[in-house]
């Protein structure tokens, strides 16, 4: 036993020495003191108390770009610089892939779908999926968003009346927002009525519940070290990782099993022709899979994987974004009233033209409401960091010069092939050089001034939906859903912040809102609601 441990430690030492002698290109770049030779900054980053803690501290000391260290002495570049992000995510196309770790983790919960596909496979999958997210197609989802938003209002009204018929009270808004997002994706993506808001038990929803918190939040140290070795493992070994018998890996396995089983039933229904003319995302994919052209086809596993992917991509992202949005409006009642006034004025115009309800054009024309949505997406990005890996030796251009260890100011960093780039969405969205001196605080009016900013990201110069060829395919879907749900909720309820409640973000792969100091109580956003109509 002792000798096998000695063997493991020796192998580790040899590996770390080999790493140090490998070509490192970031030697002259400054960065924070390394707290552990074995873990580098990895463990402290995964255990930070709040998203943004470390970023803020490091950014103040070194600016938007600096060097950090991964496990076993691996050097990494950390950046929030707009020009660097533009280069990595936009200009370079597939030359900065996600890398082995991100891809393999993606496969654990989304199979062989678009989120984990690389290069030509990704290009093909994206081409096939794009039509399902076109502007025209999104109009078909409008009634789905409206129905679920109205149902959510009813459920909250019921919840409020149970305890207090007059006035309001504080409720945790997170669970019902999650159920609403689930009902929406069930219907829009698969034409499946989950009935989550009505309390229906759903196997898929159960398998999915708290998946990220259970599997990514505060991983055990062995898992951090283990994951750091993945990039050196051959594909045959990587393919076995999903069978590991520990809690983290079992949860993913059971989620994928349930998603694939349900997916098979859905695809059979849709392929039988019984649902011709259906506008849900899967029906569109099934139709395009009838094509003879291999370029417009998905394999069965890829098709099933899109089901697991869409459920994950469109659920917590929407629920958490709405929770942050309502939290900010509860903290800023004057802005809440301003958007309520804008909504009421728009409704009056809609009624005057004898229309039924808000069209996408009506929603887009609500300038201040949209500024509020953008400001909340800016301050609370669901994915606070995105990781990429240089696929070739490169020079990374910077907009904000950095001071190197040797005292030079530079706007170009040599990058060796294989170097990992950690893109901080959270910090980019708060850069004073992009957003102005008040970048750290809430100010939706910044989106009203039409000032020229950088041109990063798929929406509003934000990195929240990422950027370039792998930017969020569902951003228009998400925006329309946010607009519709926010409109319904702000017309129906007044939101206030209960005394002494502060919400902070925790990084569990995605940013989860929790009450500061109450991590054990899990995701929650308690707000005081009273009914207005």
> Under the rule (CB under 6 A), what is the footprint of ligand HEM?
114-115, 126, 309-310, 313-314, 317-318, 321, 382-383, 386, 464-466, 470, 472-474, 477-478
Smallest gap from Cβ 517 to ligand HEM, in A, equals 26
Dihedral pair phi/psi, residue 387, rounded to 5°: -115, 135
Q: Which CB atom, from 302 or from 494, has the smaller least distance to ligand HEM?
A: 302
Nearer to ligand HEM (CB atom), residue 382 or residue 504: 382
Shortest gap between Cβ of 520 and ligand HEM (angstroms)? 26
Q: In the complex with ligand HEM, which residue's Cβ is closer, 80 or 314? A: 314
**φ, ψ dihedrals at 349, nearest 5°:** -65, -40
CA 389 – CA 88 distance, rounded (Å): 9
Residue 361: HSE in the Cβ half-sphere, 13 Å Cα cutoff: 4
Nearest residue (CB) to ligand HEM, 30 versus 90: 90
Judged by beta carbon, residue 224 or residue 480, the one nearer ligand HEM is: 480
Quickly list DSSP for 191-226.
Answer: -----TTTT---HHHHHHTTHHHHHHSS--HHHHHH
Instruction: Quote the least distance from Cβ 406 to ligand HEM, whole Å.
Output: 34
Element (H, E) at 78: strand 75-79
33 vs 36, 131, 389, CA distance in Å?
9, 48, 23
Q: Where would I find the H helices in 280-397?
A: 281-288, 300-313, 316-331, 333-352, 360-364, 367-379
- Tell me how far, at minimum, the Cβ of 516 lies from ligand HEM, in Å: 22
Distance of closest approach, residue 211 Cβ to ligand HEM, in angstroms: 16
Q: How far is the CB of 105 from ligand HEM (least distance, A)?
A: 10
Greatest Cα pair distance, the chain, in angstroms, is 83
Q: In the bound complex, what is the minimum distance in angstroms from residue 310's beta carbon to ligand HEM?
A: 5
Q: How far, in Å, CA of 54 to CA of 60, rounded?
A: 10
d(CA 206, CA 201): 8
C-beta of 382 vs 484, nearer to ligand HEM: 382
Q: Which is nearer to ligand HEM, 25 or 306 (CB)?
A: 306
Q: Between residues 156 and 477, which has the closer beta carbon with respect to ligand HEM?
A: 477
Pairing of strands 526-531, 169-172: antiparallel
Q: 303: which strand partners?
A: none
Phi, psi of 287 (to 5 degrees): -60, -45
**Dist CA 231 CA 75 (whole Å):** 14
Q: CB nearer to ligand HEM: give 68 or 137.
A: 137
**Nearest residue (CB) to ligand HEM, 126 versus 279:** 126
> Which tokens go with 282?
């899967």
Q: Residue 448 has which token pair?
A: 């009203």
Q: How far apart are CA 371 and CA 461, in angstroms?
A: 13
Handedness of CA 40, 456, 343, 187 (dihedral sign): negative
In terms of CB distance, is 490 or 510 closer to ligand HEM?
Answer: 510
Best CA proximity match to 145, nearest among 179, 183, 197, 100? 183
CB of 314 to ligand HEM, least distance (A): 4
Nearest CB to ligand HEM, comparing residues 54 and 88:
88
In sequence order, the 6+-apart residues with CB closer than 8 A to the CB of 262 are 203, 204, 307
Instruction: Compute φ and ψ for 493, nearest 5 degrees.
Output: -130, 155
Task: For the CB of residue 373, give the shortest distance to ligand HEM in the complex, in Å.
Answer: 9
CB of 147 to ligand HEM, least distance (A): 17
Could you write out the DSSP letters of every residue in 230-286?
Answer: GGGS-HHHHTTGGG--SHHHHHHHHHHHHHHHHHHHHHHHHHTTTTTT--SHHHHHH
Minimum CB separation of residue 427 from ligand HEM in Å reads 15
Beta carbon nearer to ligand HEM, 62 or 465 = 465
State the DSSP code for 474.
T
Q: Taking the complex as a whole, how short is the minimal distance between the CB of residue 164 and ligand HEM, in angstroms?
A: 32
Nearest approach, Cβ of residue 94 and ligand HEM (Å)? 11
Q: Kindly tell me which of 57 and 130 has the beta carbon lying closer to ligand HEM.
A: 130
- Give the integer Cα–Cα distance in Å for 389 and 100: 9
Q: Which token pair is 304?
A: 């099933």
The closest of 213, 219, 216, 176 to 198, measured between CA atoms, is 176
Residue number closest to ligand HEM, CB atom: 474
CB of 396 to ligand HEM, least distance (A): 18
């Amino acid at each position: 036993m002792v000798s096998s441990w000695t063997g493991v430690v020796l192998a580790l030492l040899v590996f770390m020495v080999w790493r140090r002698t490998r070509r490192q290109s970031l030697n002259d770049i400054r960065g924070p003191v390394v707290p552990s030779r074995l873990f580098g900054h990895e463990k402290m980053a995964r255990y930070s108390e709040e998203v943004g803690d470390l970023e803020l501290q490091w950014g103040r000391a070194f600016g938007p770009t600096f060097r950090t260290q991964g496990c076993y002495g691996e050097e990494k570049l950390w950046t929030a610089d707009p020009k660097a992000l533009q280069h990595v995510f936009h200009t370079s196309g597939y030359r900065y892939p996600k890398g082995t770790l991100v891809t393999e983790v993606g496969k654990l919960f989304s199979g062989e779908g678009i989120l984990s596909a690389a290069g030509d496979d990704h290009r093909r999958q994206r081409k096939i999926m794009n039509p399902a997210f076109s502007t025209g197609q999104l109009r078909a989802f409008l009634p789905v968003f409206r129905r679920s938003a109205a149902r959510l209002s009813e459920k909250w009204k019921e919840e409020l009346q149970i305890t207090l018929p007059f006035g309001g009270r504080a409720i945790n808004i997170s669970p019902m927002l999650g159920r609403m997002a689930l009902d929406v994706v069930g219907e829009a993506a698969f034409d499946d009525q989950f009935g989550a808001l009505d309390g229906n038990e759903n196997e898929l929803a159960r398998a999915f519940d708290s998946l990220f918190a259970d599997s990514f939040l505060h991983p055990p140290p062995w898992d951090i070290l283990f994951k750091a070795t993945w990039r050196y493992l051959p594909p045959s070994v990587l393919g076995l990782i999903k069978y590991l018998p520990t809690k983290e890996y079992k949860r993913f396995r059971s989620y994928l099993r349930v998603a694939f089983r349900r997916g098979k039933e859905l695809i059979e229904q849709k392929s039988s022709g019984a649902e011709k003319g259906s506008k849900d995302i899967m029906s569109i994919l099934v139709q395009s899979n009838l094509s003879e052209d291999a370029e417009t086809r998905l394999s069965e596993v890829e098709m099933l994987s899109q089901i697991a992917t869409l459920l994950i991509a469109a659920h917590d992202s929407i629920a958490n974004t709405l929770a942050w949005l309502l939290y900010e409006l509860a903290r800023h009642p004057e802005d809440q009233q301003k958007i309520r006034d804008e909504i009421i004025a728009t409704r009056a115009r809609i009624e005057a033209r004898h229309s039924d309800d808000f069209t996408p054009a009506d929603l887009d024309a609500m300038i201040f409401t949209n500024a509020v949505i953008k400001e909340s997406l800016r301050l609370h990005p669901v994915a606070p960091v995105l990781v990429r890996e240089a696929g070739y030796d490169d020079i990374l251009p910077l907009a904000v010069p950095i001071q190197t260890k040797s005292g030079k100011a530079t706007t170009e960093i040599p990058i060796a092939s294989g170097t990992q780039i950690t893109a901080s969405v959270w910090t980019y969205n708060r850069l004073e050089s992009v957003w102005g001196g008040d970048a750290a605080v809430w100010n939706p009016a910044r989106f009203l001034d039409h000032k020229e900013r950088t041109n990063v990201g798929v929406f509003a110069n934000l990195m929240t939906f990422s950027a370039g060829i792998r930017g969020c395919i569902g951003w228009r879907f998400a925006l329309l859903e946010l607009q519709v749900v926010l409109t319904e909720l702000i017309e129906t309820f007044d939101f206030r912040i209960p005394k002494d409640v502060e919400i902070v973000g925790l990084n569990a792969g995605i940013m989860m809102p929790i009450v500061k100091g109450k991590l054990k109580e899990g995701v929650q956003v308690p707000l005081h609601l009273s009914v207005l109509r």
